[in-house]
Amino acid sequence: MSVQTTRQLALPPRPRRPLRAVAWAVITLAVVVAFWSIEVNWQRLGDLPSEIARYFGLMFSSPNWEKLPEALWQTWRSLEMAWVGTVLSILLATPLSLLAARGFGPAWLRELLRGLFSLIRAVPEIIIAIVILSVTGLTPFTGALALAVNGIGTLGKWGYEAVEAVPQGPIEAARAAGGGTSEVLRWGVWPQAAPAFWSFWLYRFEINVRSSAVLGLIGVGGIGDMLTSYTQYREWATVGVLLIVVIAATVLVDWASGAIRRRITEGGRARGMA
């Protein structure tokens, strides 16, 4: 018997995974059904590039710069909304994330908090804002509260994952020295997890800046509220100015936040790379 024949006989049979095949078939069927159920108008879809070009011309060929001061003021209000929401979510999510980490809270509380974080993340900010506005009304504070509640879900999950990922050496040393839970968190966990937490907080602020513009669609104030109003009245020259301001503010915040996060996570190397 040849060596090649021996190798062929030695190969194990290919494993059969019927459940995987059924799952892929169901997913494929769901995608096809979802695609056809939306009733795509192919003629309108073909006109989409020309329509986009036309609206771009209406918005940016001659922007209405007289609205720039008001746009800047409303953008500042959106940034305030994002900042307040971020600070509130940090104050609430940080201690909860520590309790949700393995080894620092009872099992029942850990599972309860993790379920709460998942539930909050499943609800968009705009739905949370609609629920809150029945109490607080259409004010920027409503948007800030909605961002804060939604931020608890993301910051809580990122927080307990960061705590569980830190090396165990300092934690064991703090416990061996007789430290309680608070001392272990202060001296064994926080010095190692602090850069990750700062990075998460800054990234959440970036997300809130974008979300604050979307929350303006329901009338809680900010640049999104102004953008909705002028879009409804078809004042495209003003809409163009608003979009320019929104894009510029978002890019500036992303750049500043990214630079700070790199400085925190990479230390002195970030300055040398820059």
Summarize pLDDT for 194-222 with one digit per residue, the tens: 888 988 999 899 899 888 888 877 877 78
- Asked whether 159 and 97 are in contact (CB, 8 A), the reply is yes
The CA distances from residue 86 to 62, 92, 262, in Å, are 36, 10, 19
How far apart (Å, rounded) are the C-alpha atoms in residues 240 and 54?
13
Average pLDDT, the chain: 82
Which residue reads 């979009």 in tokens?
Answer: 243
Summarize pLDDT for 45-86 with one digit per residue, the tens: 777 788 888 888 888 888 888 888 888 998 898 899 999 999
- Asked whether 166 and 101 are in contact (CB, 8 A), the reply is no
How far apart (Å, rounded) are the C-alpha atoms in residues 148 and 156?
12
The pLDDT assigned to 42 comes to 67
Enclosing H/E stretch for 90: helix 68-100
The pLDDT assigned to 156 comes to 92
Summarize pLDDT for 26-38 with one digit per residue, the tens: 888 888 887 777 7
Joined together, the tokens standing for residue 231 give 């879009």
Question: Is pLDDT at 268 greater than 70 in this prediction?
Answer: no
The pLDDT assigned to 270 comes to 44
How far apart (Å, rounded) are the C-alpha atoms in residues 75 and 246?
7
How far apart (Å, rounded) are the C-alpha atoms in residues 83 and 86?
5
- On the CB side of 198, CA atoms within 13 Å amount to 17
232: confidence class by pLDDT, cuts 50, 70, 90? confident
Q: Which domains does the chain have, with CATH numbers?
A: 3-56 (no CATH), 63-273 (1.10.3720.10)
The pLDDT of 103-129, averaged and rounded, is: 89
Q: Kindly compute the dihedral angle of the four CA atoms of residues 124, 128, 131, 132, in this order, to the nearest 10 degrees.
A: -160
